Amino acid sequence: MRRMKTRQAILFIACVPIFIVVSACSTSNGRIPTQTPVSSTSTSSPTLTLSPSPVPPTPTATPRSCLTDAGEIKQDAIPGSNPLQEFLIYLPPCYIELDDHYPVLYLLHGQTYNQDQWVRLGAPTIADQLIHSGEAPAFIMVFPDDHYFYAPARAGFGDRLINDIIPRVDNNYRTLTDRKYRALGGLSWGGGWTAQLGFEHTEMFGSLGLHSPAIFQDTALFLEDNISNIPQEERPRLWLDIGDADKELGRGRLLDEMFTRTDYLHEFYVFSGDHTETYWGAHAEQYLRWYTEAWRETADQ
């Protein structure tokens, strides 16, 4: 992985003119034929009836009780990191019992919040429901902490996510490491990181989700040029949404226009709501369904 340049992350909302420029056997119950008793009769010997041999029961798969359990949320961190880089990780039902490898969804929180924001918005509960119902394959979620946004300049969050967090997750948990099985999404400030990192590291992510994104100033300056240079076949799936009462709605529409102008296939939604947890929580299930849709289609092939 190539080391990303540390950038001063400045919220897009502080840069009004930027967009002027960048406008988750059935066995057949067929009945085994019963042997017909055979009779042998003579005047000198008694009638002999041959009974069929006992037929063993047809084996049936025993459902694993863990498939109805809730997933597990664990705390983890990058050893020796300064500042300490922590993250929460959601492991799906049956992770301990099975030896499977799983797709991974990285979800980034908003400014002034921390690693538990997506947990409070219900992401683990929604994931459990989708996995239990079979509407999504089992998958892992990672919630990195980025509460050092006002800290003095040093190796930034973007560097730690790409060069520390993702490698630690892949090395210590059973993940599928192909880009099509790794997704990145974020809300507000986390959406800004998603735009910056996702379009710079298209080799790492198969899907990107921008939820009410606050695009950083230095990202906005070069975003259109960067996207124009990404070959169509290397472009991650892309989702963009924003509330109709969000004060950044205009900039969200400019993003949509820019993606359209660069022929970037994407989904754009304006939902009812503003720039709050109430809005994001109301759409968290839609978000997770979209992220896992690509993995469900792959599993069905």
Model pLDDT for residues 143-188, shown as the tens digit of each residue:
999 977 665 544 589 999 999 999 999 999 999 999 999 999 999 9
Q: Is the pLDDT of residue 2 over 50?
A: no
Rounded to two decimals, the pTM is 0.78
Mean pLDDT across the chain: 83
Please answer whether residues 50 and 61 qualify as being in contact, where contact means their C-beta atoms are separated by less than 8 angstroms. no
pLDDT, average across residues 41-69: 53
Higher per-residue pLDDT: 150 or 97:
97
The DSSP string of 128-159 is HHHHHTTSS---EEEEE----TTSPSSS-HHH
Residue 271 CA to residue 251 CA, distance in Å, equals: 15
Most confident of 31-40, 43-52, 76-85, 188-197: 188-197
Structure tokens at 284: 């968290």
Residue 103 CA to residue 167 CA, distance in Å, equals: 14
pLDDT, average across residues 87-92: 98
Domain ranges of the chain: 72-210+275-300
| Class of domain 72-210+275-300 (CATH, top level) | alpha beta
Tell me the pLDDT tens digit for each residue of 113-149: 999 999 999 999 999 999 999 999 999 999 999 977 6
Residue 213 CA to residue 10 CA, distance in Å, equals: 12
Q: Residue type at 301?
A: Q
Q: What percent of the chain has pLDDT over 90?
A: 69
Residue 220 CA to residue 194 CA, distance in Å, equals: 12
Please answer whether residues 164 and 3 qualify as being in contact, where contact means their C-beta atoms are separated by less than 8 angstroms. no
Residue 211 CA to residue 194 CA, distance in Å, equals: 10
Phi–psi pair at 142, nearest 5 degrees: -125, 130
Residue 247 CA to residue 238 CA, distance in Å, equals: 22
The pLDDT of residue 68 is 87
The DSSP string of 199-255 is HH-TTT-SEEEEES----HHHHHHHHHHHHTS-GGGPPEEEEEEETT-TTHHHHHHH
The pLDDT of residue 155 is 57
Tell me the pLDDT tens digit for each residue of 214-265: 999 889 999 999 999 999 999 999 999 999 999 999 999 999 999 999 999 9
Q: In DSSP terms, which residues pair with 105 in a beta bridge?
A: 141, 183
